Amino acid sequence: MEAFLVSLSTVAIAEMGDRTQLLSLMLAAHYRKPWPILAGVLCATLANHIVAALVGVRLGRFLTPAMLDAAVGVSMIGMALWALKPDTLQEGSRGGTAGAFVATTVAFFIAEIGDKTQIATVALAAAYSNLAPVVAGTTAGMLLANAPVVFLGKAFSDRLPLTALHRVASALFLILGAVFIYRAVHHSP
């Protein structure tokens, strides 16, 4: 249960103001079909995070528990710093004639490559080495963060204090990083 809850909260926090959340906003404004967009987010996230978790589990086999906790702690502190840098969405083409689901699935999968949430998934899977709760948690966190944006769209995003959200997210990542580093120090002989 810990793996699920930490994964859910980590990704939900990381996603606030992230480029994939901004992509959800753009897709919602363009297509105005929230259910196919959320289904696309779900499919893209599952595919992306399963691959990331497999990489993380594989890496986790080569590291001691102390090394894993230290690596996750350092990555969380790195994410704390990354969270302070707000993402922006570049204006691009409004897309072709593909439906909301296909456009969302493809765009979201590509946007998620190398994203904070994918890197967090790798680190969490390495730390917990239990694929199912990590992927379920990261996917649920992604949906939790993106569903309000998809349903409430532009009106919702204009009211969000993004700077404050980034600072809170950064503080939470810093706390999580400190907890994992504390655990790493206490694993050492």
Phi, psi of 98 (to 5 degrees): -65, 150
pLDDT in tens, 118-129: 888 998 998 887
Other CB atoms within a 10 A radius of the CB of residue 29 amount to 12
Residue 67 vs residues 1, 62, 189: alpha-carbon distances, Å:
22, 9, 12
Q: Give φ, ψ of 26 to 5 degrees.
A: -65, -45
CB count in 10 Å sphere of residue 3: 20
Structure tokens at 23: 């992509």
Q: Is 16 helix (H, G, I), strand (E, B) or coil?
A: coil
pLDDT digits (tens, 9 = 90+) for 22-56: 788 878 877 878 899 999 999 999 999 999 999 98
pTM surpassing 0.75?
no
